[in-house]
Chain A
Amino acid sequence: MTIEQMKMPQLGESVTEGTISKWLVKPGDTVSKYEAIAEVITDKVNAEIPSSFTGVIKELKASEDETLAVGEVICLIEVEGCEPDKARENEPIQSVDKNIGTSQVAAADVTISKARYSPAVLKISQENDIDLEQVKGTGKEGRITRKDLLKLIESGNIPKADARKPASNQVLNPVPDLKKEQLNTMQAKAIQSAVGDIEIPVTGVRKAIAANMQKSKHEAPHAWMMVEVDATNLVRYRESIKQEFKQTEGYNLTYFAFFVKAVAQGLKEFPEINSMWAGDKIIQKKDINISIAVATDTALFVPVIKHADEKTIKGIAREIAELAQKVRTGKIKSDEMQDGTFTVNNTGSFGSIQSMGIINHPQAAILQVESIVKRPVIIDGMIAVRDMVNLCLSLDHRILDGLVCGRFLARVKEIIETTTPQNTTIY
């Protein structure tokens, strides 16, 4: 003997409940399968409910006019033996393969390593100077989620980048905001100051220098070459006129002016050098604007001598003097430092005889004019004392190759070596 339950059937597609309007049986009655046991009213139909079993009514679970949800037990029937219905209960006999759902998900998986950041994560990390390498991700396979970063920001415990591996962010970053990125790396968290150390805040100018230098050094593949120039003629010439020049003009006729002029001339003849990297193209500039490096005690400025090729040595000397004065007195304006196409750096002024310049981004090259020093030189098999100077060129190898740079340097060398009262006018 088993007790079977009769449940409220779903009478109609959208029906959720039924009301027993009349019981057609009472406890103790014997019913056969499919014999009506109750009348039920629903929103859609009125119907007699047949028994699903042959047996004796044990208990009515609901009274007349009571409303029951579909699936609720309405009465119990005592059944002899085991009805064949026992096996059914509308369950699939072949059970559903539980793995199907997960295996589909697995198939759709893409291999996400920690280093693959979503655009949203990258953006937040940049805006908040978060070093993603130090963040522990809670996503699948350790991926850092947007929420991970928002939580970090909220906690105020933002891990900053480690200065010892300054390039790491760029390597992983598909859309680098270089300036910002590189400045971030300057904010070295790992280097702590000790007692007696002086902490110097990084000011706007220092920041800009740092960013520009790092951008250039990181972005442009630098190559380097040097030529040795015999400046004996130049030295003699300048010596012969510098006194008079100073008296007439009121400012110094520097060697540097000769070099700037020679470079401007060389650029005119080798316009490839006077160009810029623009991502998918190289822009060859029409104007020859020479940036010159002018140092103060704490910073480095690069004012520009515009249209240097159109100016005389005197004119260049004058501009150098004026620009240097403005820099030292803090009066230099930003438009006077713009539109440079090539940089000449007077490293010789502090005694250097050889140096490797960092290209002034986005220019193609920078020339370092070193100290003029007297050295024994062999000319025509005889030892002579000559005024020698090294010219060092750093070049962006994306734009320039050794050949054209070599020719350019040879030309500048030639101009300097043949600087004489006969060949060269100051005015």
Chain B
Amino acid sequence: MPVISYIDAVTTAIREEMERDSRVFVLGEDVGKKGGVFKATNGLYEQFGEERVIDTPLAESAIAGVGIGAAMYGMRPIAEMQFADFIMPAVNQIISEAAKIRYRSNNDWDCPIVIRAPYGGGVHGALYHSQSVEAIFANQPGLKIVMPSTPYDVKGLLKAAIRDNDPVLFFEHKRAYRLIKGEVPNDDYVLPIGKADVKRQGEDITVITYGLCVHFALQAAEKLASDGISVHVLDLRTVYPLDKEAIIEAAAKTGKVLLITEDTKEGSIISEVSAIIAENCLFDLDAPIMRLAGPDVPAMPYAPTMEKYFMVNPDKVEKAMRELAEY
């Protein structure tokens, strides 16, 4: 099976879907001739032409809004926000429009758009190129939010998002783009949106996380295994709506749960995961729910010292895991 990078999995999924379905097209800033600032749409302009790989004016609300219009008509737009941090001007279009189109029209209209955006820190991107923005959208029924961790998941989930008949926000960790490589089959496969995935089976503690932090958890779990501590790792993959069954099952399995996000702590995705566990697992818990997250400051600073302090990393994850295991 070929081993490809996380970002190549993004490009591959888009290319295959554009080849499969003429309604699929890409729009965003610098996505065309340049192939995207991260090269996520590399080669698509050459293959499909400027009509299907559209360099738009620099205006995020229009990128989202025009995409939404095309989606309502019946196209399958993939809109790119250059950085998740720059999605803010499009929030009205995403929340007031995309999320509510099916609902407000009583199922008369729908909005099958995918909005992709690179998120996350640890790349010296400072406040406005490092943020995790998923929590802003994660209380908007009508939206789906996918945040894959591996190239295999990227391809299967992005294809599923493009074929989904509801709006999907697809957040890709920019540090994972070239850091994470993995086996990805050449064949056409989709993975179910809304389903979490057990990335490692374990008995002593459960870690629930998503995105790049999944890899931190797996690395730390490997270390703990040599000390006889067995770690169960659940990758949420879809952070909204959450796979409640999988969360309850994973939490109940060991009774000791560590939740990890790279986002700031209060009101984050893992706050909701924590609430689900609290609601359903009172009699299965063997320790208080533990959360590892970024500090509650507006965003990640530029200086490497401060960035390191902010970011979750394998050492912090390992330390938290050991603390929980010993509880």
A residues with a Cβ closer than 8 A to B are 110, 112, 116, 118-119, 174, 280-281
Contacts and interface: CB of A to CB of B under 8 A. Distances in A.
A118 B286 contact: no
Interface string B272-292: 000000001011001000000
11 contacts: A110-B280, A110-B283, A112-B283, A116-B283, A118-B282, A118-B283, A119-B282, A174-B286, A280-B228, A280-B229, A281-B228
User: Main secondary structure on chain A at its contact with chain B?
Assistant: loop
B270 to A, nearest CB: 21
A280 B228 CA distance: 9
A116 B282 CA distance: 10
**Which A-B residue pairs are the 4 nearest by beta carbons?**
A116-B283, A118-B282, A280-B228, A174-B286
B59 to A, nearest CB: 34
A174 B229 CA distance: 20
A177 to B, nearest CB: 15
Contacts, number: 11
A92 to B, nearest CB: 16
Interface size classification for chain B:
under 10
Contacts of B283: 110, 112, 116, 118
A23 B301 CA distance: 69
Contacts of A116: 283
Interface in B226-251: 228-229
A368 B282 CA distance: 46
A116 B285 CA distance: 12
Interface in B201-232: 228-229
A118 B281 CA distance: 11
Nearest to A111: B283
Most chain A Cβ neighbours within 10 Å, of B280, B283, B286: B283
A320 B228 CA distance: 41
A104 to B, nearest CB: 14
Which one of B228, B229, B282 has the greatest number of beta carbons of chain A within 10 Å? B282
Find the residue from A110, A112, A119, A281 having the highest chain B CB count within 10 A: A110
A118 B282 CA distance: 7
Contacts of A280: 228-229
A281 B204 CA distance: 14
Nearest to B255: A174
A295 B280 CA distance: 53
A174 B228 CA distance: 22
Contacts of A110: 280, 283
A110 B248 CA distance: 12
A281 B229 CA distance: 11
A175 to B, nearest CB: 8
A149 B283 CA distance: 18
A280 B204 CA distance: 11
A112 B282 CA distance: 11
A118 B229 CA distance: 27
Contacts of A112: 283
Given A118-B282, A119-B282, A281-B228, 7 more contacts: A110-B280, A110-B283, A112-B283, A118-B283, A174-B286, A280-B228, A280-B229
Contacts of B229: 280
A170 B239 CA distance: 39
A118 B283 CA distance: 7
